[in-house]
Amino acid sequence: MKKLIILAILFPLFILRAQSQDTNIPATWPDSIYTGKHGRMHVQGVAVDQANGHVYFSFTDRLIKTDFSGKLLGRVTGFLGHLGDLEFNPADSKVYGSLEYKNDAIGKGIRTTLGAGHSDESGFYIAIFDGAQITRPDMDANTQEVFRTVYLSEVVKDYEAQVQVGDKMRPHRFACSGIDGVTFAPAIGRANRRKMYLYVAYGVYGNTNRVDNDHQVILKYDVANWNKYAKRLSQDNLHRSGPARPAEKYFVKTGNTTYGVQNLAYDLHSGNLFAAVYRGKKAQFPNYDLFVIDGRAKPRESQLQSDNRTITVKPLSLSQAGPKDPGTGVRGWHFKWGAMGLCPLGDGLFYISHPSKSRDGQQQSTIHLYRWIGDHENAFAKIR
């Protein structure tokens, strides 16, 4: 009888404790979501429409829409460029993604894999998808009214530039290889946290023989009036409709990485921006996989060497959390996942992609629910 009384007292306390541990995790969010198999090119990014229970995945040449069970709801195929990181914008209920058309090894490799002819024309865009119109599999990117694009001339200028590095001429200012990571976040370093801006991260070539590629470059755009720029994209005749310049151009000293920021994510809980990369190969740097940018630290002007001259730039600060490399002062984490899908959910929660290849050679991914830890040992902890 005493045991029953004790259990009757302790059981509600156990339930309350269990509930308190998971109070920030909505019951509708599964621990993991599997994408299914989607062709020969790997997953690039993930975005979640929490209100409607939809998840979007970019698989380089296609966009996938599922529900929270992983059921396929729609698919847009036919991209001849590189569809990269994704971000859902609650302000207009659209999905934003980086979209590249370029004539380097990546661009030529994509077109070769897809059996398309090569093109010397380069263009870098933000693709804006209307998820409500993505309603069935195998919708054609060339003919369906499901997305518009905005041209980013600043990126093209840096990509096509020839610059002096030491005693040699090198292609691509700041080693710009295009764009990939995208996210919406408030103005960095300002008290007003209500207005959101689009941040777009450069890809950066991982050339170990040049010294001007040790910063990440991040552009800031106000998208409030982007309807006047957004146009349908003909992949055989790239348009040039977009803003003349970004609102801001920021630099982050991380050491060189391989193709720059792959996934960029703003976490409302911490107020920081998370940058997942393919680690670099320069021995003098720690070559972390994950960097966290302090979203509240005000950028202050500094000098940087570019094209054999000194230029004034606005550097962003890395968070003071996590391991610090004693030689360079760079902070970050070694974390295996995130470069192929890092999606913030609020309250320090993230969906993080674990990509893999099926036995028949097709690409697939499972996203897992993680919580941000950010101590000196761990970046994230997997939920349950």
Residue type, 375: D
Nearest to 151 by CA among 263, 259, 231, 62: 231
| 248 within a domain of the structure (yes/no) | yes
Task: From residue 26, give the alpha-carbon distance in Å to each of 346, 382, 384.
Answer: 11, 15, 14
User: Number of structural domains, the chain?
Assistant: 1
Q: Which domain holds residue 202?
A: 34-382
Instruction: State the pLDDT at residue 6.
Output: 42
- Going residue by residue through the chain (384 aa), what tens digit of pLDDT does each one get? 444 444 443 433 333 333 334 455 767 789 999 999 999 999 999 999 999 999 999 999 999 999 999 999 999 999 989 999 999 999 999 999 999 998 766 656 665 665 665 566 889 999 999 999 999 998 999 898 999 999 999 999 999 999 999 889 999 999 999 999 999 999 999 877 889 999 999 999 999 999 999 999 999 999 999 999 999 999 888 999 999 999 999 999 999 999 999 999 999 999 999 999 999 999 999 999 999 999 999 998 999 889 988 999 999 999 999 999 999 999 999 999 999 999 999 989 999 999 999 999 999 999 999 999 999 999 999 997
């019951």: which residue's tokens? 27
- The 10s digit of each residue's pLDDT in 140-157 is 998 989 999 999 999 999
Instruction: Convert the chain into a string of H (helix), E (strand) and C (coil).
Output: CHHHHHHHHHHHHHHHHHHHHCCCCCCCCCCEEECCCCCCCCCCEEEEECCCCEEEEECECEEEEEECCCCEEEEEECCCCEEEEEEEECCCCEEEEEEEECCCHHHHHHHHHCCCCCCCCCEEEEEEECHHHCCCCCEECCCCCCEEEEECHHHHHHHHCEEEECCEEEECHHHEEEEEEEEEEECCCCCCCCCEEEEEEEEECCCCCCCCCCEEEEEEECCCCHHHCCECCECCECCCCCCCCCCEEEEEECCCCEEEEEEEEEECCCCEEEEEEECCCCCCCCCCCEEEECCCCCCCCEEEEECCEEEEEEECCECCCCCECCCCCCECECCCCCCCCEEEEECCEEEEEEEEECCCCCEEEEEEEEEECCCCCCCEEECC
Instruction: State the pLDDT at residue 243.
Output: 98
Cβ(177)–Cβ(84) below 8 Å: no
- The 10s digit of each residue's pLDDT in 312-367 is 999 999 999 999 999 999 999 999 999 999 999 998 999 999 999 999 999 999 99
Nearest to 179 by CA among 206, 196, 155, 199: 155
At residue 112's C-alpha, the angle toward residues 108 and 116, to 5°, is 100
Cβ(155)–Cβ(178) below 8 Å: yes
Q: How many CA atoms does the CB half-sphere of 37 hold within 13 Å?
A: 8
| 6 within a domain of the structure (yes/no) | no
CATH of the domain at 300: 2.115.10
Which residues does residue 105 pair with via DSSP β-bridges, in sequence order?
none
* Cα gap 67→73, rounded to integer Å: 7
| 26 within a domain of the structure (yes/no) | no
At residue 352's C-alpha, the angle toward residues 154 and 97, to 5°, is 30
Which residues does residue 290 pair with via DSSP β-bridges, in sequence order?
276, 333
| 28 within a domain of the structure (yes/no) | no
| 94 within a domain of the structure (yes/no) | yes
| 375 within a domain of the structure (yes/no) | yes
| 11 within a domain of the structure (yes/no) | no
Instruction: State the pLDDT at residue 118.
Output: 54
Distance of CA 119 to the CA centre of its chain: 26
The pair of structure tokens assigned to 26 is 């909505």
Instruction: State the pLDDT at residue 334.
Output: 97
| 20 within a domain of the structure (yes/no) | no
